[in-house]
Amino acid sequence: MAFAITQTCCADASCVSVCPVNCIHPTPDEPDFGTTDMLYVNPATCIDCGACADACPVDAIFPAGDLTGSLKVYEEINAEFYAGRDVLAEATVAPNFHRWSPPSFARILPSDFAPLDVAVVGTGPAGMYAVEDLLLHTTSRVTLIDRLDTAGGLIRYGVAPDHPSTKKIGETFARFHDHPRLRLRLGTEAGPELAERYDAVIYAVGATEARRLDVPGEDLPGSLPAATVVNWYNGHPGVRPDAVDLSAERVVVVGTGNVALDIARILTADPESLADTSIAPATLARLRSSKVREVVLLARRGPSDAAYTRSELLALAARGDLVVDAHDPRVAAAIDAGDGKAALLQGVPRETVDWSSPPSDGTRRVVLRFHSAPLEFTGDTEVRGVRVTGDVEITAGRVVRAAGFRGAPVPGLPFDEVTGTVPNTAGRVLPGTYVAGWIKRGPSGGIGANKACARETVGALLEDAVAGRLRTRGQRRRSAARR
């Protein structure tokens, strides 16, 4: 019986490195790594050893025969990835072995390489993958800094509370907090002075600002950035428990990425189904008295090009309360033809919705409306609706802007206002100062994408150290004295 990878895959490739028969793809050295929604087990070559399941940091891998309910489809999804691929031909020749790649020594450190003092700013995935690399592969001493009193970053405050398996990777990261060469400093603001105190500083501060839509009415009361809602249900200390008003029956979410789906799912969930999750207690109390009955997800493009991943859409559709707005014949045509992601919506009910009225009954549901770009948020003193493509106005009491994120400027570092990132080369801002994660490459890729990103950054740091491009402690002290 083969194993199968399921919905919560973080794609950090921990499973790839332990598989004895190379049956998990794409691997980090393959061109499509990082472009797929998840990794996949080849059922033709899997030998059912279970090594991948033991290594998975988010409990996403199970014996295919044990999958039930909404996860059952992942047996087929894993097999589909290999249909017609060369991997199957190789498996016919040697089903239990794989061709060894030539040895690679990407980093060569001299035997007398002195321990470095490195500061890592940010305790999210990018920062923790950098910490892991430094502690496991060098003799560096690491100071891990976060402005919040609780570590975790994106894992703690960005992952939806009803995704407990995904949050489990936080336990993998937390084991480094007690490492003898690591000092953890929480509740600490990082400033330019770090450059004077450490051999190198890695900023892994993420992308925390909302990308603006630049439409009239965007700043009306009742219009919220997605980050506020996500932080609200995760109990972020910077967001008040009453930051999200749930008195409106209909909420419009602009965007169809995974964050948009998370928000729609939480706002329409049975509150009791969230009671045993990590959701903020104050948020759960407010959801129990919520008047929200319908969340509308607005997509600029059609269903074939939706931003959500396959696994997130399948999880939402499995609840049985998803509806597709049938206002545009192109939507039905794409779904019926099975074009790209549109095929995932086959079997999902379609309905022509009267947007001038509140939701028709008291049941909760999520509506997907494609080919509908927001043109204006309407209302005088607060949001009353959204005018979209086709000059249709959707009556709504609240709007959530989930059109993406961008980084914020880091004091003392250059900043690109267009991309919302710190300009860098392979993570190097200048010798001694580095970036990793979304502040480095923009808000793309899931949790696992930060592993390769952090490794590249740490590689640049070590290259500079070996080449003597980092300032010595004496040079830093003399520079500080001149100030």
Give the pair of three-digit tokens for residue 17: 């490195």
pLDDT at 94: 43
Complete domains list, the chain, with CATH: 3-93 (3.30.70.20), 117-208+407-482 (3.40.50.720), 213-404 (3.50.50.60)
Percent of the chain with pLDDT over 90: 83
Decide if pLDDT at 395 tops 90.
yes
pLDDT at 101: 63
pLDDT band at 480 (very low <50, low <70, confident <90, very high): low
Query: What is the mean pLDDT of the segment spanning 460-472?
Result: 92
pLDDT at 91: 45
Tens digits of residue pLDDT in 104-150 = 777 888 988 999 999 999 999 999 999 999 999 999 999 999 999 99
Pairing of strands 398-401, 223-225: parallel
The CA-based angle 8-9-15, given to 5 degrees, is: 140
pLDDT at 385: 96
pTM of the model: 0.90
Q: φ and ψ at 210, to 5 degrees?
A: -75, 140
Closest by Cα among 297, 234, 298, 293 to 268: 293
Decide if pLDDT at 87 tops 80.
no
